[in-house]
Amino acid sequence: MSRGSGQAGRGRLGVRLGATPSATGPTGTMPIEDTDGGLLALVFVPQPAGGTAYRLVVSLHGAGGSARHGLGLLLPVAAEQGLLIVAPQSSGSSWDMIHGRFGPDVRRLDRVLTGILEQYPVDRMAIGGFSDGASYALSLGMANGDLFEAVLAFSPGFAAPQVRTGEPRIFVSHGTADRVLPIDRCSRRLVPRLQAMGYDVTYEEFAGGHEVPAHLVRQAAAWLPA
């Protein structure tokens, strides 16, 4: 499944979609722990629908947040949309790239996804997040467009991929009264840049602050490829 972590410093994941596992793991919300007992991720697996493969979405928390925040972002729509949610825990207060370099969190995510794909049938993957998690989702999504076919970026600050691979579809939302990551300095600059680079971007502004309104979570989930 995994091609190793030699390119982790460039934000490249080694995991790839592969053969369907012979048996499917348990459903519900579960922790994935490191060998030292630390939390690597929380996972929500809905009941399988008619034996079909899952759509997997990596959901990234914001700065100072936790895997529980990442899981909670998409959990309200996961069961009805049939989404398998993987919510990683960053190794630091935010994601490695935010602190200056890719590496530890890329390797951790590779391990988590490799384990998930060994237990569950998955035929497509997306990545998303809020705030710093949105910036990281964009950066990883653009670097791994051969793995992630879509990116959900709720109130991102920037995108800084070390490499670009493929052209995932991108959904961006941002509040017009955001004081943490002001829209004029962030999405209103970022979205035109992404479009100029050839990405298919769906962009939604809303009257609000640094948040993710419930209706936009539902809209974004419905926007994901079926």
Please report, for the chain, the start and end positions of each structural domain, with discontinuous segments joined by +. 8-12+27-223
**Is 140 in contact with 173 (CB distance < 8 Å)?**
no
* Cβ–Cβ < 8 Å for 69, 59: no
Whole-structure pTM value: 0.95
CATH of 8-12+27-223, one of 3.30.230.10, 3.40.50.1820, 3.30.2350.10, 3.20.20.70: 3.40.50.1820
Q: How far apart (Å, rounded) are the C-alpha atoms in residues 132 and 167?
A: 21
- Alpha-carbon distance of 134 to 60, in angstroms, equals 7
Joined tokens for residue 225 = 């490829």
**E strands within the chain?**
28-33, 39-45, 54-60, 83-88, 122-130, 150-154, 169-175, 201-206
Instruction: Write down the pLDDT at residue 6.
Output: 59
Residues, the chain: 226
Give, for all 226 residues of the chain, the pLDDT tens digit: 334 445 899 999 999 998 888 778 899 999 999 999 999 999 999 998 767 899 999 999 999 999 999 999 999 999 999 999 999 999 999 999 998 889 999 999 999 999 999 999 999 999 999 999 999 999 999 999 999 999 999 999 999 999 999 999 999 999 999 999 999 999 999 999 999 999 999 999 999 999 999 999 999 999 999 8
Euclidean distance between CA atoms 93 and 32, whole angstroms: 19
Q: Are 107 and 5 in contact (CB under 8 A)?
A: yes
Q: What is the pLDDT of residue 4?
A: 43
Calpha distance 26→57 (Å, rounded)? 17
